[in-house]
Amino acid sequence: MRIDIMTLFPEMCEAVFTQSIVGRALQTGKLSVSAVNIRDYSADKHNRVDDTPYGGGMGMLMQAQPIYDCYRALADASETKPHVIYLSPQGKVLTQQRAKELAGYDHLVLLCGHYEGVDERVLEEIVDEELSIGDYVLTGGELPALVLTDCIARMVDGVLPNEEAYSQESHYASLLEHPQYTKPYEWNGRTVPDVLVSGHHANIEKWKRQESLRRTFLRRPELLENAQLDKSDRKFLESLQKPAEDLD
């Protein structure tokens, strides 16, 4: 899979995606990620890529032509048409499900806005979708692009040891992950749940499932609407609701 980040600050991106799991995936060739400087496509002798907005307003807007020329260079060098994502607080909020779907693309191009935004015309021309990492505003799109890259990359085949490495994590199946523990067995007067050291694999898996359901019910109950639940799951969730109902 190939991911290209169109940005005014490539060094900021490179400092992150060359590290940890994504960095190892780059070294092994499982993934290709690059940060492309939009300024390299400016026709201005000072490499300016912004100007004042028509109609007035605060700040500067990124111009359409440098962004478009940067995109064209990436698209012309690609075997397939890239799927272009603009990182924007106006976009749909990123979910694990959408990241899973995006991991199936051959080539993604992520556009990072800056200043007061981007000329709408180039967004209409090249962008396939807008994504946000939350309902708040950041200085630029670089941090959201790196979040999206990390989220997608770990689900690309071969980046993690196997599917189980991410399929049991929070949000993958609309459930939060169960609590986890490591050595020592006792710390600050707190011990590891006995079932986890019992060696009884069926009971351990049942505990993990029920704790995942419990945590989702208590912290993010709206996620349960999209979770795949069997009869025993629903029975367990009903048992969690009874104490609250008894107080009414």
Question: 191: domain CATH number?
Answer: 1.10.1270.20
Phi, psi at 48, each rounded to 5° = -70, 145
Query: Domain check: are 23 and 135 in the same one?
Result: yes
Work out the widest C-alpha separation in the chain, in whole angstroms: 74
Q: Enter the tokens of residue 24.
A: 């190892």
Q: Is residue 229 part of a domain?
A: yes
Among 153, 178, 212, give the residue marking a domain's end.
153
Average pLDDT, the chain: 90
Query: Domain check: are 117 and 229 in the same one?
Result: no
pLDDT for the residue numbered 154: 85
Query: Domain check: are 130 and 11 in the same one?
Result: yes
Q: Is residue 242 part of a domain?
A: yes
Query: Domain check: are 141 and 190 in the same one?
Result: no
Question: Lowest mean pLDDT: which of 112-116, 139-143, 171-175?
Answer: 171-175
pLDDT for the residue numbered 156: 84
**Helix residue ranges, H only, 56-130:** 64-76, 96-102, 120-126
Q: Is residue 165 part of a domain?
A: no
pLDDT tens-digit map of 193-242:
999 999 999 999 999 999 999 999 999 999 999 899 999 999 999 999 87
Query: Domain check: are 19 and 95 in the same one?
Result: yes
Q: Is residue 19 part of a domain?
A: yes
Q: Would the pLDDT of 87 be above 80? A: yes
Q: Is residue 235 part of a domain?
A: yes
Query: Domain check: are 124 and 227 in the same one?
Result: no
pLDDT for the residue numbered 166: 42
Structural domain that includes position 212:
186-246
Number of domains in the chain: 2
pLDDT for the residue numbered 105: 95
Query: Domain check: are 15 and 138 in the same one?
Result: yes
pLDDT tens-digit map of 12-59:
999 888 888 888 888 888 899 999 999 999 998 899 999 999 998 888
pTM of full prediction above 0.75: yes
Q: CA nearest 109: which of 231, 3, 221?
A: 3
Q: Is residue 169 part of a domain?
A: no
Query: Domain check: are 124 and 238 in the same one?
Result: no
pLDDT for the residue numbered 131: 98
Q: Would the pLDDT of 172 be above 90? A: no
pLDDT band at 244 (very low <50, low <70, confident <90, very high): low
Percent of the chain with pLDDT over 70: 92
pLDDT for the residue numbered 247: 45
243: how many CB neighbours lie within 10 A of its CB? Answer: 8
Q: Is residue 162 part of a domain?
A: no
Distance CA 45, CA 94 (A): 38
Q: What is the CATH number of the domain that holds 111?
A: 3.40.1280.10
Query: Domain check: are 58 and 124 in the same one?
Result: yes
pLDDT for the residue numbered 28: 83
pLDDT for the residue numbered 50: 95
Query: Domain check: are 14 and 99 in the same one?
Result: yes
Q: Enter the tokens of residue 61.
A: 């807007």
Query: Domain check: are 42 and 96 in the same one?
Result: yes
Q: Would the pLDDT of 86 be above 60? A: yes
Distance CA 119, CA 67 (A): 10
32-37 and 2-7: which strand pairing?
parallel
**Helix residue ranges, H only, 92-230:** 96-102, 120-126, 142-153, 164-167, 201-219
186-187 and 190-191: which strand pairing?
antiparallel
